[in-house]
Amino acid sequence: MDKLNLPKRETYKLEVNDNGDYIEFDLTDLNLPFKVQKASNNMRKIIKEYNSKIRNINQTIKNEKQLSLAVIKATTDKNSKLEKEFDSFLGEGSCKKIFGDKNYYGMYEELLEALEPHFKAMKINIKRAQEKLIEKYMPKNKEVI
């Protein structure tokens, strides 16, 4: 039986925990910047909804115990939605690799902050990968509109 051999892709690999687990970005995936942008837009909406919900909870619930429980529930719901958005571009199960079963306030904000320098580094590589694709697949000696 023959084996399908595809060319190696340019990737950006990040170790995400002390167990040796990695997340990997395929820098030749032209959809990657769009996935990140879409998730970023969705995250802004999630955080805006969360902040509105917290203001409403603080205004309507006066019992301290009920207030605490409502804030915890809202934060847990927010974290669950943010996990889904991060996994949409990091890869399914990536947040589980990074955080395990932990769920705490501000965890996804910390993750976003930790990823920032890597996004900057990847932009350079994404641009280079796109140039490689153009070189490889654009017709030679032909005008392109």
- Return the higher-pLDDT residue of 4 and 110: 110
* In the predicted structure, residue 48 carries a pLDDT above the cut 80: yes
pLDDT tens digits along 59-83: 999 999 999 999 999 999 999 999 9
pLDDT tens digits along 88-132: 999 999 999 999 999 999 999 999 999 989 988 887 666 666 677
Longest dimension (CA), the chain: 74
- Return the higher-pLDDT residue of 37 and 79: 79
- Return the higher-pLDDT residue of 65 and 26: 65
Query: Which of 2-16, 29-43, 63-77 ranks highest by mean pLDDT?
Result: 63-77
d(CA 36, CA 71): 28
* In the predicted structure, residue 143 carries a pLDDT above the cut 70: no
Close Cβ partners of 132 (under 8 Å, ≥ 6 residues apart): 10, 28
What confidence score (pLDDT) does residue 3 get? 83
Task: Say which amino acid occupies 17.
Answer: N
- Return the higher-pLDDT residue of 139 and 111: 111
- Contact indicator for 65, 96 with CB cutoff of 8 Å: no
| Burial status of residue 1 (CB atoms within 10 A of its CB: 0-12, 13-18, 19 or more) | exposed
